[in-house]
Amino acid sequence: MFSVGTLSLEITSTNPVVHAIISGTAPQPARLAAARGLLPLPQNDLLEVLVALAVHEDAEIATAANETLQGENAADLLIAATGDDTAPAVLSYLAKHKTVKREIHEALILNTKTPDDALASLAAITADGALLELIALNQQRLVRFPELIEAILGNEARTAEAERRAKETRKEFFEKERGARQIAEELRARGDNAAAEFFESAELTTPTGTLSIEDAWIIAQHIEVSDADIDDGWLPAERFDELVTETAEEIKANVQRVIESERLESGTEVSAERVSLIRRIMFMTTRDRMKLAMKGDREARSILIRDSNKIVSSAVVNNPRITDHEIENISAMRTVADEVLRLIALNRNWARSYSIIHNLARNPRTPIPTVVNLLPRIRTKDLHSLSQNRNVSETVRRQALRLAQVRSGQ
């Protein structure tokens, strides 16, 4: 790395002549000849030398180098702008000059070797909105070098599309991350480590926008399980595909479904406070709801057990704090997913409870194979009742009657 005038340059060329000129070890006449383009150098080497000498402390050399650069053929500059082996200093020089042709700037934007700070300079000075759109398309570069976002948004020539992409990237990767981090730090300072862990990995975005700070604080009050207490072995990796992004319409329908199921089961209207909490929770992404289902308190579990996404509702019964009393209530619910009822039946501890297996046997949502496996453990009098229960399937009624008759010696 050599300092030339006010510019620090890393020499890319392996040509010893280039090194001698840029480092200053070459004699003055040789440097001046190079600045005038008189040395027989390959095009890439010549451009690297000229860019370095254009900021030389010797005014005569700097003036000559700038004049030579101004006279360079546009076709040669375009080749340099697209090349993988072009010196970063040359790419930066071309990006920072308004006078080069549009196709050269376009090539520089598409060239992965162009330094990020050079493109930020281009984004700040260009009057071409289409070029700003092209820069904004490369989200990876915007995330890597956020000054690009500010350069795009600060340029009056930006198009609506360039502005939209820049703002979306800023919100998704910086504002959201910063908000979640601040919440997590405050929660940890208060000793709420479980809630802090949740927000450190939360997505905090939905199809309807970003979760507000107020909503995040309210949700934090309903988190009680730490990461160390969670066992996510129940969820195979291939099922993560089911945590799909939902549309705003699907989320609203899910909210209404939860509210309506609570109303039907309680027989009373759901309070405004409860509806508000349901909306806050259900408007989170499916991944965040799944995490909350495994880490949340009783109130959060009572909402998420009704989630239309089976992975979210299944996560509730895998919450380490869930109680037998909650499972007994869930086993009788007719608005939960059949997958949840099947998982309850498979749990040896819960299957020891007669009230739970009796609820499962009477629940029309319980899968028929699951009920058939449970029937031998149902008491005879309850089998008789089940055989006459029109809410369950005919298969279950017949099997219950057959078992009751066998036990009665009929």
Give me the residue spans of the domains in the chain.
2-114, 135-189, 191-322, 349-410
Query: Is residue 336 over pLDDT 80?
Result: yes
The per-residue pLDDT for 4 is 37
What the block records as the tokens of 177 is 């991350």
Element spanning 320, H or E = none
Task: Kindly state the percentage of the chain with pLDDT values over 90.
Answer: 69
Which is nearest to 315 in space by CA: 333, 288, 283, 345? 288
- CA of 323: how far to CAs of 14, 144, 330, 349, in Å? 71, 46, 11, 11
The HSE-up count of residue 274 (CA atoms within 13 Å, CB side) is 15
**Residue that is written with structure tokens 């349901």 in the block:** 278
The per-residue pLDDT for 245 is 80
CA 299 to CA 317: how far, in whole Å? 13
User: Which pLDDT tens digit goes with each residue over 262-309?
Assistant: 998 888 999 999 999 999 999 898 999 999 999 999 999 999 999 999
Query: Is residue 2 over pLDDT 60?
Result: no
CA 348 to CA 235: how far, in whole Å? 18
User: Which pLDDT tens digit goes with each residue over 201-249?
Assistant: 887 766 666 677 778 888 999 999 998 999 878 887 767 777 888 888 8
**Helix, strand, or coil here: 104?**
helix
Task: Classify the C-alpha dihedral 101-83-68-7 as positive or negative.
Answer: positive
DSSP state of 297: -
User: Which pLDDT tens digit goes with each residue over 49-88?
Assistant: 999 999 989 999 999 999 999 999 899 999 999 999 999 9
Single-letter amino acid, residue 100: V
- E-assigned strands of 250-310? none
The per-residue pLDDT for 6 is 36
160 contacts: CB under 8 Å, gap ≥ 6: none
User: Which pLDDT tens digit goes with each residue over 162-211?
Assistant: 999 998 888 766 655 666 777 888 889 989 999 999 988 887 766 666 67
Residue 61's region, left for phi above 0, alpha for psi from -120 to 50, else beta, is: alpha
